[in-house]
Amino acid sequence: MIEIAKDNLCVNQLIANKKEVIIVEGDMIVPDSKPDILNTICTSGVVCVYKKEVQEEKVRIDGNVNTYVMYLPDGTEEGVRGLNTSLDFSETIAVPNCHSGQQFMLRTKVKSIECKVINGRKIGIKATLEFDIQIFEQEEVEIIGDVPTDNGIQIRKEDIKVNSLVGTGSTKIYAKDTVPIEAIDQLAEILKTNVTLMNQDIKVSYNKVLTKSELAVKMMYLTEDNRIKTITYTIPAVGFVDIPNVTEENVCEVGYEIKNAIIKPNAQEEHSIYVEIELEVVCYVYEEKQISLIQDLYSPTEKLSMTQKQVVTMSGKQTRTETKQIQEKVNLSDMEGKSILDVDVSPVMLKEDKIHSKILYEGELQLQFLMMDSRNQITKQEAKIPFDYVLEDLQNGETLTTNEQIELASQDFILQDGGDVDCRIAMAIHTDMSRMANMNLIDQIEDEGEREEQDYSVMIYLVKEGDTLWNIAKRFGSTVEDIARTNGIENENLITPGQKLYIPRFVKMPVSHYG
């Protein structure tokens, strides 16, 4: 066996990158304390994942959708009422090539929640969820760093950059606060909720990754005197993830999951709403390494055999954030005497084109307007605003694996004459990018004795299609340098089919020793 030096490399192979849409359904009985339902107005909800697990060829996700239903009562003079329920789900999703022990990053989105009145005391709820699933496998691999060449061994290397995994970690954050409402408001019930993550940021210090963000909690509530009010409150969410040897030069990828959410009237304090949200933060840290990887080797004088294996890792890991400002007008019908009560904005990516140094995105903002008239009657209308944006200055953009998150930084809606609404929306679009690097690793090298003695000192060879100087030299027991020197070749990578080459035999020179 040839004595070789090996280096260690920790790779984090992306096993699966999959989006899956699931349907969660359930029925709700109206409590005796609430009036019958005539029809529903709107439904909102927060999805919580309290358990996720990688199994053989599948993943399992357990959680619930905390749902709020605003409805119009039947046969009363009351304006609107609200219901709250939780839909539990346990979903098993097929994911090829995954198995127990692999790491699981999950991002979850509520695409829509629909309600259907079954009868005056019962409604059916249907929630459509989107799971963005990423499965990783961590592996320590050994790379041959050096091979002794004093016995004439020829080595072909390639310099490549890879993202070596520094470490992974997670932490839990309990973001909770008492949200004050106006002192004149006697809170009756919560009609609608929405929770979004904003202003995500990270800082690295002392073997820790500091994750900072804000939870924007938007709540619509009903007062005892049948007024409808809306409030948005931000709660800081700060956590520390322990990862030894992390530095500011490393690339950190962070994922947030809501594990539990409680939003309810505060029983301990008047004129307030109690909010408690449990977050799990998962962090992966990478460093960029340039390695000189041996691609092939041979000896002109000895018969060598070697074992090889394929390893897939990441390279070019980076995160880009682009800010997109949108100012458009949409027209709503029948707006005479009405005002805008609330607007839900849902960004949806429709198309992604990767072209050389660019990635072109097309999407739309799906808007749901709630309007209220002078009699406190609420109606709903929908509109869409298309948008596009471009990521530029990329290297080989078509080979990148990407994952996008859209954060609504701000939104403002101004109702104008004729039903026109001036919409001003700012989005922060975070794009995680990397590419898969296939590494062919030489594992072991065995010396099986001398090569057969050749009966020539120089031979003539006609270059064939697909030939390289390396392959020719390896085949005939010569060296690239000797062939290039004998034939006056300046560029070792430039030979043409039909070209006549003189192939000299390799002659091992004795090693000189100086005293």
Q: Tell me, what's the pLDDT at 376? A: 80
350 and 422 together in one domain: yes
Percent of the chain with pLDDT over 90: 65
Q: Tell me, what's the pLDDT at 513? A: 40
Q: Which pLDDT band holds residue 497 (cuts at 50, 70, 90)?
A: very high
Whether 235 and 217 have beta carbons less than 8 Å apart is answered as: yes
Report if residue 17 sits inside a domain: yes
- Cα–Cα distance measured from residue 128 to residue 113, given in angstroms and rounded to the nearest whole number: 6
Q: Tell me, what's the pLDDT at 440? A: 81
Q: Which pLDDT band holds residue 460 (cuts at 50, 70, 90)?
A: very high
Q: Higher confidence at residue 454 or residue 32?
A: 32
Answer whether residue 315 shows pLDDT above 60: yes
Q: Tell me, what's the pLDDT at 252? A: 92
- For 118, 182, 235, 265, 458, the CA distances from 115, given in Å and listed in that order, are 9, 31, 30, 24, 85
Please report the sign of the dihedral spanned by the C-alpha atoms of residue 488, residue 491, residue 492, residue 494. Answer: negative
498 and 362 together in one domain: no
Q: Tell me, what's the pLDDT at 77? A: 64
Q: Which pLDDT band holds residue 1 (cuts at 50, 70, 90)?
A: low
Answer whether residue 211 shows pLDDT above 80: yes
344 and 493 together in one domain: no
Mean pLDDT over the full length of the chain: 90
Answer whether residue 341 shows pLDDT above 60: yes
Report if residue 45 sits inside a domain: yes
Q: Higher confidence at residue 150 or residue 345?
A: 345
Say how many domains are in the chain. Answer: 2
Q: Tell me, what's the pLDDT at 180? A: 95
Q: Which pLDDT band holds residue 159 (cuts at 50, 70, 90)?
A: confident
Whether 87 and 127 have beta carbons less than 8 Å apart is answered as: yes
Whether 80 and 68 have beta carbons less than 8 Å apart is answered as: no
Q: Tell me, what's the pLDDT at 512? A: 43
Whether 273 and 264 have beta carbons less than 8 Å apart is answered as: yes
260 and 173 together in one domain: yes
Report if residue 242 sits inside a domain: yes
344 and 402 together in one domain: yes
- Cα–Cα distance measured from residue 165 to residue 251, given in angstroms and rounded to the nearest whole number: 10
Residues in Cβ contact with 142 at an 8 Å cutoff, skipping those fewer than 6 apart: 6, 7, 8, 9, 441, 443
Report if residue 462 sits inside a domain: yes
Q: Tell me, what's the pLDDT at 263? A: 95
Q: Which pLDDT band holds residue 437 (cuts at 50, 70, 90)?
A: confident
Q: Tell me, what's the pLDDT at 455? A: 62
Average pLDDT over residues 152-181: 91
431 and 494 together in one domain: no
479 and 415 together in one domain: no
476 and 328 together in one domain: no
Query: pTM for this one?
Result: 0.83
Answer whether residue 514 shows pLDDT above 60: no
Report if residue 277 sits inside a domain: yes
H or E element at residue 504:
strand 500-504
pLDDT, tens digit, for every residue of 79-108?
889 999 999 999 999 999 999 999 999 999
Average pLDDT over residues 59-77: 91
Segments of 147-186 assigned E as strands: 154-180
Q: Which pLDDT band holds residue 456 (cuts at 50, 70, 90)?
A: low
Q: Tell me, what's the pLDDT at 14? A: 85
485 and 411 together in one domain: no
Average pLDDT over residues 149-164: 85
Residues in Cβ contact with 139 at an 8 Å cutoff, skipping those fewer than 6 apart: 10, 11, 12, 13, 311
Which amino acid type is present at position 5? A
- For 10, 39, 140, 251, 403, the CA distances from 168, given in Å and listed in that order, are 12, 49, 14, 12, 19
Segments of 392-481 assigned E as strands: 401-415, 420-450, 458-462
215 and 329 together in one domain: yes
Answer whether residue 515 shows pLDDT above 50: no
Q: Tell me, what's the pLDDT at 509? A: 55
CATH of the domain at 514: 3.10.350.10
pLDDT, tens digit, for every residue of 377-413?
888 999 999 999 999 988 888 888 888 889 999 999 9
Average pLDDT over residues 21-41: 93
Average pLDDT over residues 172-187: 94
Q: Which residues pair with 314 in a beta bridge?
A: 163, 436
55 and 170 together in one domain: yes
- Cα–Cα distance measured from residue 320 to residue 11, given in angstroms and rounded to the nearest whole number: 22
Q: Whole domain around residue 233: which residue ranges?
A: 9-137+165-286+316-437
Report if residue 291 sits inside a domain: no
Report if residue 143 sits inside a domain: no
* H, E, C per residue of 24-92: EEEEEECCCCCCCEEEEEEEEEEEEEEEEEEECCEEEEEEEEEEEEEEEECCCCCCCEEEEEEEEEEEE
Whether 34 and 5 have beta carbons less than 8 Å apart is answered as: no
Answer whether residue 511 shows pLDDT above 50: no
Structure tokens at 373: 């008239």
Tell me phi and psi for residue 513, to 5 degrees. Answer: -120, 130
179 and 259 together in one domain: yes
Average pLDDT over residues 267-290: 92
Answer whether residue 508 shows pLDDT above 70: no
Q: Tell me, what's the pLDDT at 36? A: 93
Report if residue 340 sits inside a domain: yes
Which one, of 213, 209, 259, lies nearest residue 236 by Cα? 213
The single-letter DSSP state of residue 101 is T
